[in-house]
């Protein structure tokens, strides 16, 4: 099964939205196989957002991502990257569709509640950046066949 990285950003922590977002992940059926709180620093953020270092908003983005600890999660499922990107919604919360996490909880292009990996390749690199191998638990939920048909797995 595919894996993806989710980050509950400081805006989500500060607004007490941890439960709301985790609830949606559980309700959807994505399997949480790693989860921890951590304080990000400039070094990890420069790597994580390396595609944005030249953007004018980059300093504010880094500052906002360090204002409180974040919660990082490894999510697992068939097509987990696409499933969680769709649940997350488009980058700008003002434009994100209602029903998505950003569409329902954000009015900002920056303070948009969650990070979601955008490709399988990036997901694996991001998981390795934020987690040690022993922090990821490769268990199979007992209700796996209530989530998926036997020929899907």
Q: State the nearest-atom distance from the C-beta of 85 to ligand UDP, in Å.
A: 8
Quote the least distance from Cβ 143 to ligand UDP, whole Å.
31
5, 25 Cβ separation under 8 angstroms: no
Nearest CB to ligand UDP, comparing residues 20 and 118: 118
HSE toward the beta carbon, residue 80, CA cutoff 13 A = 26
End-to-end CA distance of the chain: 8
Least Å distance between CB 57 and ligand UDP?
Answer: 4
Q: Which stretch binds ligand UDP (CB under 6 A): 22-30, 109-117, 124-132, 141-149?
A: 109-117
C-alpha separations of 34 from 53, 90, 93, 108 in Å? 28, 24, 26, 28
Active site residue 48: no
Could you list the active site residues?
Answer: 115
């Amino acid at each position: 099964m595919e894996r993806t990285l989710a980050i509950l950003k400081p805006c989500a922590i500060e607004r007490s939205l941890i439960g709301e977002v985790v609830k949606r992940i559980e309700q959807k059926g994505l399997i949480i196989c790693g989860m921890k709180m951590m304080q990000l620093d400039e070094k990890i953020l420069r790597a994580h957002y390396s595609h944005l270092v030249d953007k004018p908003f980059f300093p504010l983005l880094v500052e906002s991502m360090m204002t409180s600890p974040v919660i990082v999660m490894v999510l697992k499922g068939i097509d987990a990257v696409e499933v969680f990107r769709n649940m997350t919604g488009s980058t700008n919360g003002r434009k994100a569709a209602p029903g998505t996490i950003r569409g329902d909880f954000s009015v900002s292009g920056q303070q948009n509640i969650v990070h979601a990996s955008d490709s399988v390749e990036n997901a694996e690199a991001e998981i390795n950046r934020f987690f040690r191998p022993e922090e990821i638990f490769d268990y199979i939920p007992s209700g796996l066949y209530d989530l998926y048909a036997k020929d899907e797995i």
